[in-house]
Copies of this chain bind each other. A is one copy, B any other.
Amino acid sequence: MSDAPKDLENLIDLMARLPGLGPRSARRAVLYMIKKRALLMTPLADTLGQVANSVRECLTCGNLGTKDLCDICDSPKRTNGELCVVEDVSDLWAMERAGLFKGKYHVLGGTLSALDAIGPEELRIPRLLRRVQDESVSEVILALNATMDGQTTAHYIADQLSDVRVTSLAQGVPIGGELDYLDDGTISAALKARKEL
């Protein structure tokens, strides 16, 4: 690549730092964009610049938006009594795609991790505890990932919230899931939580 123009090399280096792309796929993506300059490359440059300048974290819940309050916190359609706690904005989007939950969110910004020295203060846990008191929340739904760190965080938060109902997402067989392809832990959890038909 010694003979690609400097800007082009910089662009490939930057693209290669995105998750899911490496040097080879970054080169491919850049050449593809150059072929679709007006339809893809210029709009992408503009939109990237706009998002970099305008998008910020909601002061209340940590979701992304363009104002101090995100669209969900600001919406009169969302009920106030239920708070759904997620690790990251991508999890909030996943919950929204499911489309069932009508309350508000609280994005922690990660999980507790002794290894990485991430304690409650590094996350939005103190703010969560304040919100539960201030917003007269009746139920906190912990929608954290079913990983070790996620479950540790869930237990820590549940311990801090004694005056309010704390629930978590059910664990079991995914819709369309085949038992043969599921791990033992999931099958055990689904068996323990079996329901009367």
Contact = CB atoms under 8 A, between A and B. Distances in A.
Interface of A: 1-5, 7-8, 10-11, 14-15, 17-21, 25, 27-34, 37, 40-52, 54-55, 63-66, 70-72, 88-90, 92-93, 96-97
Given A5-B66, A55-B8, A96-B3, A41 B31 contact: no
Contacts of A90: 27-28, 31
Contacts of A93: 1, 3-4, 27
B18 A71 contact: no
Secondary structure class of chain A's binding surface, majority of residues: helix
A71 B7 CA distance: 13
A48 to B, nearest CB: 4
A5 B64 contact: yes
Given A28-B90, A33-B18, A48 B96 contact: no
Contacts of A51: 7-8, 11, 30, 34, 41
Contacts of A40: 14, 17-18
Contacts of A88: 31
B29 A25 contact: no
Given A18-B29, A19-B32, 14 more contacts: A1-B97, A3-B71, A3-B96, A4-B93, A7-B50, A7-B55, A14-B40, A15-B44, A18-B40, A20-B28, A20-B29, A31-B90, A44-B48, A49-B49
A179 to B, nearest CB: 25
A41 to B, nearest CB: 4
